[in-house]
């Protein structure tokens, strides 16, 4: 496992020890490279607030003192050192423009072509993220002061801000309105997860919104389409995950558009004894695309090619011998999820919970059209 240039390891160790307000973003390579233990050790011993994207979600459980979620932009606007590990400066990162211009920016990646792409960095390290993070931590060991104690004030500031931002979102997360808010679905999904639940997101707006609430409880328990946002991956991901981890519970949250792309492979999952729970946030449209069309062409032409009709997908599970349920009231989401869990366990067949969500609610990124900027 390559650590790259040892001089750069020492340089990064010096940068971290001197940092007063550091922040680290751990990306998919940290999980795919099984570098999560080294990442956690560095974060805890050097007292650095950690943020996560992609498959790195779950490396630290929610509630961990170094796990941060909602304050990434705030941290990146105030940090003196920002370390990006295993994720590119793509549209999700504003192509690197959302980082404080005065900050020392360090990028660690397995691919040299990614380092410094779309924005300059102060220091780039190419190699295995686990080996690099371990070497950096080792390089700080034995120093008189690694700066960890002085950073507690910085972490407390971020924790206070995290709590404030969560409190601000709670009215949406607990909304009883009808049609159901996709924020309420996201909240209920998060409450439903266990340490043995693998969460898969396959969709546009509903899945984007779910990322604001869903926090997997263990490493490897989050899967999504990645930066390209490829719809239709959910069923294949669910089938593969259940085959590899038959004792884990697998839940896939779809948009109705994405479910329609690969839904019939649920029959394949059942046939190969790989049942899972499918939850559909059904707004009867390709809603993320619909918003863009409305913005560009107006309401009259906004629905061209993206309205999908009101499909009771629960009947699909029933047709395949499994459990299906239509949910139209927010208070019924949690009981429906529990019934699906019990049905999958008892029948060995996949279940579908079709939740009718408000088509007038869009994710913040969709409203800002960030994917096109």
Are 178 and 296 within one domain? yes
Are 185 and 128 within one domain? no
Distance CA 204, CA 45 (A): 37
As a dihedral over the C-alpha atoms of residue 182, residue 197, residue 353, residue 285, rounded to 10 degrees, the angle is 40
Q: Which of 104, 132, 162 is at the close of a domain? A: 162
CB 139 within 8 A of CB 13: yes
Tell me, what CATH number does 107's domain have?
Answer: 3.40.50.1220
Are 148 and 254 within one domain? no
Residue 371 pLDDT = 58
CB 89 within 8 A of CB 116: no
Dihedral class, residue 100 (left if φ above 0, else alpha if ψ from -120 to 50, else beta): beta
Task: Give residue-wise pLDDT tens across range 70-118.
Answer: 999 999 999 999 999 999 998 888 888 889 999 999 999 999 999 999 9
C-alpha distances in Å from residue 73, one per residue of 67, 78, 175, 232, 324: 15, 9, 26, 30, 40
Are 339 and 239 within one domain? yes
CB 78 within 8 A of CB 72: no
Are 89 and 208 within one domain? no
Distance CA 90, CA 67 (A): 23
Task: Give residue-wise pLDDT tens across range 135-188.
Answer: 999 999 988 899 999 999 999 999 999 999 999 999 999 999 999 999 999 999
C-alpha distances in Å from residue 370, one per residue of 90, 186, 345: 11, 21, 41
Asked if the structure places residue 292 within a domain, the reply is yes
Are 196 and 115 within one domain? no
Residue 372 pLDDT = 56
Are 140 and 221 within one domain? no
Distance CA 258, CA 231 (A): 5
Are 198 and 73 within one domain? no
Are 182 and 157 within one domain? no
Spell 183-204 as b/e; 16+ CB within 10 A means b.
bbbbbbbbebbeeebbbbbbbb
Beta-carbon contacts of residue 54 (< 8 Å; ≥ 6 apart): 27, 28, 31, 87, 222, 224, 226
CB 77 within 8 A of CB 71: no
Are 131 and 154 within one domain? yes
| DSSP E strands, the chain | 22-26, 50-52, 81-85, 104-109, 123-126, 197-202, 222-223, 249-255, 277-282, 324-327, 351-356
Asked if the structure places residue 1 within a domain, the reply is no
Are 150 and 25 within one domain? yes
CB 278 within 8 A of CB 317: yes
Distance CA 304, CA 193 (A): 37
- For 279, the token pair is 């939850």
The pTM of this model reads 0.92
Give backbone dihedrals phi and psi of 83, rounded to 5 degrees, phi first: -115, 125
What is the domain extent for residue 215? 174-372
Give backbone dihedrals phi and psi of 99, rounded to 5 degrees, phi first: -105, 140
Residue 212 pLDDT = 92
- For 219, the token pair is 């490493």
Q: DSSP assignment, residue 362? A: -
Tell me, what CATH number does 221's domain have?
Answer: 3.40.50.970
Beta-carbon contacts of residue 231 (< 8 Å; ≥ 6 apart): 202, 203, 204, 225, 255, 257, 258, 261
The number of distinct structural domains making up the chain is 2
Distance CA 213, CA 199 (A): 12
Q: Which of 130, 162, 194 is at the close of a domain? A: 162
- For 120, the token pair is 């300059």
Could you list the pLDDT tens digit for every one of the 373 residues in the chain? 899 899 999 999 999 999 999 999 999 999 999 999 999 999 999 999 999 999 999 999 999 999 999 999 999 999 999 999 999 998 888 888 889 999 999 999 999 999 999 999 999 999 999 999 999 999 999 888 999 999 999 999 999 999 999 999 999 999 999 999 999 999 999 999 999 999 999 998 888 899 999 999 999 999 998 877 889 999 999 999 999 999 999 999 999 999 999 999 999 999 999 999 999 999 999 888 898 898 889 988 888 999 999 999 999 999 999 999 999 999 999 999 999 999 999 999 999 999 999 998 888 878 777 655 5
Q: Which of 154, 156, 158, 169 is nearest to 213 (CA)?
A: 169
Distance CA 29, CA 26 (A): 8
Q: Which of 48, 68, 44 is nearest to 56 (CA)?
A: 68
Are 112 and 80 within one domain? yes
């Amino acid at each position: 496992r390559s650590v790259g240039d040892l001089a750069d390891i020492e340089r990064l160790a010096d940068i971290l020890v001197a940092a007063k307000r550091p922040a680290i973003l751990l990306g998919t390579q940290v999980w795919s490279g099984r570098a999560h233990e080294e990442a956690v050790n560095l974060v805890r011993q050097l007292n650095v607030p950690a943020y996560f994207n992609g498959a790195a979600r779950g490396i630290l459980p929610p509630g961990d003192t170094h796990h941060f979620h909602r304050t990434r932009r705030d941290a990146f606007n105030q940090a003196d050192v920002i370390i990006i590990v295993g994720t590119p400066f793509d549209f999700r990162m504003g192509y690197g423009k959302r980082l404080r211009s005065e900050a020392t920016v360090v990028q660690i990646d397995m691919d040299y072509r990614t380092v410094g792409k779309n924005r300059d960095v102060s220091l780039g390290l190419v190699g295995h993220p686990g080996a690099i993070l371990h070497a950096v931590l080792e390089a700080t060991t034995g120093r008189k002061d690694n700066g960890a104690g002085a950073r507690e004030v910085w972490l407390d500031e971020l924790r206070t801000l995290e709590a404030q931002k969560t409190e601000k979102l709670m009215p949406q997360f607990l909304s009883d309105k009808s049609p159901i808010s996709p924020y309420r679905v996201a909240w209920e999904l998060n409450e439903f997860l266990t340490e043995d639940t693998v969460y898969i997101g396959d969709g546009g707006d509903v899945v984007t919104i779910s990322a604001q609430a869903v926090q997997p409880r263990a490493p490897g328990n989050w899967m999504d389409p990645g930066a390209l946002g490829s719809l239709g991956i959910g069923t294949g991901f669910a089938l593969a995950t259940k085959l590899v981890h038959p004792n884990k519970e697998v839940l896939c949250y779809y948009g109705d558009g994405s479910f329609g792309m690969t839904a019939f492979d649920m029959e394949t999952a059942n046939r190969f004894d790989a049942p899972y729970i499918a939850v559909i946030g059904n707004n009867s449209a390709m809603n993320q695309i619909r918003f863009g069309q409305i913005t560009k062409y107006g309401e009259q032409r906004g629905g061209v090619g993206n309205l999908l009709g009101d499909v009771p997908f629960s009947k699909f599970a029933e047709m395949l011998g499994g459990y299906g349920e239509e949910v139209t009231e927010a208070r019924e989401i949690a009981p429906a999820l529990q019934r699906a869990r019990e049905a999958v366990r008892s029948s060995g067949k996949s279940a579908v919970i079709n939740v009718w969500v408000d088509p007038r609610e869009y994710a913040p990124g969709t409203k800002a059209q960030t994917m096109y900027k």
